[in-house]
Amino acid sequence: MSQIVIHDKTFIPLIKNEEIQKAVSKIALTINEQYKNETPIFVGVLSGVFMFFSDFLKNYPGKCEVSFLKLSSYDGTQSTGNVTTELDISTDITNRHVIILEDIVDTGNTLEKLYQLLKNKPVKSLKVASLFLKPDVFKKDFQIDYVGICIPNKFVVGYGLDYNGLGRNYTNLYQLKED
């Protein structure tokens, strides 16, 4: 793994795809163990989740349905704290077990907004799985039920995550190289 350049910034390797795959598989099998007699709905938070979502489903052996929504809070490499909903859930989640899949949780603003959106919906249960978590930044008082890998408080790209539109296609995870 060598460093990459995207737009005006250089990124150095952080986590290899092999390690990411192990974490994805572990989350999928843990969730399946807990929902093996149910048909949960996995709700992917686009866009960054697409690679995690795909690998997650390939590792999930049970019955399930999928849905997506789109929220955004990032401008360049900074979280704006201003989260907007760009697409609503298309599936009827009434009386269903809903598990939100997130690529990464940073401040938790996005998830908080999502909880507000879903809190009045009559779901059977609501849980959250995030592949990556920045524990040094996340200070909210709600729980993230399944976490793949904790990472340092650095801006990362790859495995679905972008820097101003580029970098989503890298299968490894890279962190911003600081000067």
Q: Which residues bind ligand 5GP (CB under 6 A)?
A: 45, 48, 73-74, 79, 102-110, 155-157, 161-163
Closest approach of ligand 5GP to the CB of residue 16, in Å: 17
Q: In the complex with ligand 5GP, which residue's Cβ is closer, 40 or 48?
A: 48
Q: In the complex with ligand 5GP, which residue's Cβ is closer, 122 or 165?
A: 165
| Gap between the Cα atoms of 151 and 19, Å rounded | 13
Residues with active-site annotation? 106
| Gap between the Cα atoms of 150 and 147, Å rounded | 7
Per DSSP, 90 falls in state -
Q: In the complex with ligand 5GP, which residue's Cβ is closer, 19 or 162?
A: 162
Residue 19 makes CB contacts below 8 A (sequence gap 6+) with: 149
Candidates 172, 155, 162; CA nearest to 72 is: 162
Closest approach of ligand 5GP to the CB of residue 42, in Å: 15
| Gap between the Cα atoms of 53 and 152, Å rounded | 22
- The residues pairing with 79 across neighbouring beta strands, listed in sequence order, are 74
Closest approach of ligand 5GP to the CB of residue 122, in Å: 26
